[in-house]
Every structure is written in structure tokens, then in C-alpha cells.
Homo-oligomer: A and B are copies of this chain.
Amino acid sequence: MHSWSEKIQAQWSKKNYLCIGLDPDRTKLPLQRASASETITAFNCALIDATKDSVAAYKPNTAFYEAYGEEGWTALKATCDYIRSAVPEVAIILDAKRGDIGTTNEGYVQMAFDFLKADAITVQPYLGGEALRPFLEHVDKGIIVLCKTSNQGSAEFQNIVTADGPLYIHVAKRVAHKWNENNNCALVIGATYIDELQAVREATPDIPLLIPGIGAQGGDLGATVRAGARNMIIAISRSIIYASQGPDFAEAARAEAQKYHSAIQEALVQ
């Protein structure tokens, strides 16, 4: 069993920075099985088989599974189990964006790390580091904190001015300098905000970044790679997993993943 940090460092040493978001929208899936859980699991497993040699991590987002209730949770568990058995060297990031008071977070810890056995989880900063202690004390797991999110309206609170600069910079500094005692923290920064990405990199050069917003959301890959430095995970979902909605979806996803993988390599040497 390797820790989150060991897994992701090993991927970076192979120049793997790509993370595929496993976000199955049942209305778009090019295959059907007897139940929602079987349909979603079959889709994910085919994607994993097709893309596993060019990825650092897979990132299922819980919203796409919870939408189907127990069926969705069965598929999410089966997907995590499959990743661990088929590609144990690839990290599982549970994109759950959870966050509650301390005692309650223990339930989410149990869900993410005991039940699903994910390597990392995304969390909300709003309740503060004290509330997130049940996550942070898991030294072998990655705790990836929302900092500057990729959505259009993320400035509403995240860019509000405080004595320590915009709120997202204050969050980045608190996470990097106060919460990261176990060296297991990372930050989410959307590729749709290159200036903010550069500002976070300057303020906190050493903390790993999880960067969504490339692909369907329109972020610039070259600029992102140059700003993100070497300790980054670039998360792409829709433009890979729905590259084709026909029976060739897995091959199309593989081609798209390899295209992004190559584009990242090119940007790294520019």
C-alpha cells in the first residue's frame, strides 16, 4: 500500500500529470445494462482500460453517482475497486467537495477512505482547518482544498479583498503554511483563471495543485502547464469521456487522453 504522496510523486517522475474525471451522465452513456449501477460501472471500466497508461489519477465526482441513489453508490464503489485492481499505481481522487464540523466529518472520512478506499478527497475550506482535522490527520491520504474554483461566478467570495490579499490567496497560504503539517494538502485552482493560478503559485510554490477547467470549460492548456510548474494534476473530464458518444467511445477517449498527455509534454519543454 502506497500513500497518496508516494503514488502521485511516482506518476510525476514518469511525467504523468493527467487526471480523468469519471463523471458519468447516464443520459449520455453509449451503452446500456440492466441497471443504472451496471451501466455506469461498465462505462467507467471501459474508459479505465482504454486510458490507464497515460493517466496519473482518476477523479470520480460524487454528484454524478449520488444522483442515482444506492445504485450510484454501488457503481462508485465498483469503479474505485476496479481502479485499485487494474491500475493500483494510479491514484483515486474522490471529488466530493465535502466539509462539515469535526465530529461529522468523521462520517465522510469513513466513506472516502474506509468504504471507497480513495487516495485523496476534495474538501471545502469555509469551516476552517479545525473542522477538517479528521481529514488532515490522515497522513497517507491527500486532502485537496478548494481555493479558486473554475466556475464563472467564483470571484463572488473567492476574490473578495482581505488584509492578506484576495480570499483565495489567504486560503492558499493558510492551507500551505498551517494545515499542511502532514504534507498531505493540495489546492484546487481552475485553469479558467490563469492570473489567479500564477498568483497562487507565487504565494505557495511547493503545494500540489489540482487543476480542472481544461477541455469543456475552455482553459488554456499551455498557459496552465507553464503556470502550474511540476507539482500539478490536470483534471479533464467531459472532453475525454464523451469524445465519442458512439460504440467507439473508449477508443475515442483513449485518443483524446493521449492527445492531452502529449500536449502536456510539449508544454513542459516550452
Contact = CB atoms under 8 A, between A and B. Distances in A.
A114 B69 CA distance: 10
A128 B151 contact: yes
Contact of A77 (B63, B69, B167): B69
Contact of A153 (B69, B70, B128): B128
Nearest to A99: B97
A263 interface: no
Contact of A63 (B70, B107, B129, B152): B107
B161 A66 contact: no
A261 interface: no
A105 B171 CA distance: 23
Interface string A97-129: 111111011111011001110000000111111
B126 A153 contact: no
A154 interface: yes
Interface residues of A, number: 57
Interface string A139-178: 0000000100111111111101111000100110010000
Contact of A129 (B115, B125, B153): B153
The residue among A101, A161, A170 with the most chain B CB atoms within 10 A of its own CB is A101
Contacts of A167: 157, 160, 162, 167
A45 interface: no
10 contacts: A63-B111, A67-B108, A67-B114, A69-B115, A70-B74, A97-B100, A126-B146, A127-B158, A128-B157, A131-B154
Interface of A: 23, 61-70, 73-74, 77, 97-102, 104-108, 110-111, 114-116, 124-131, 146, 149-158, 160-163, 167, 170-171, 174
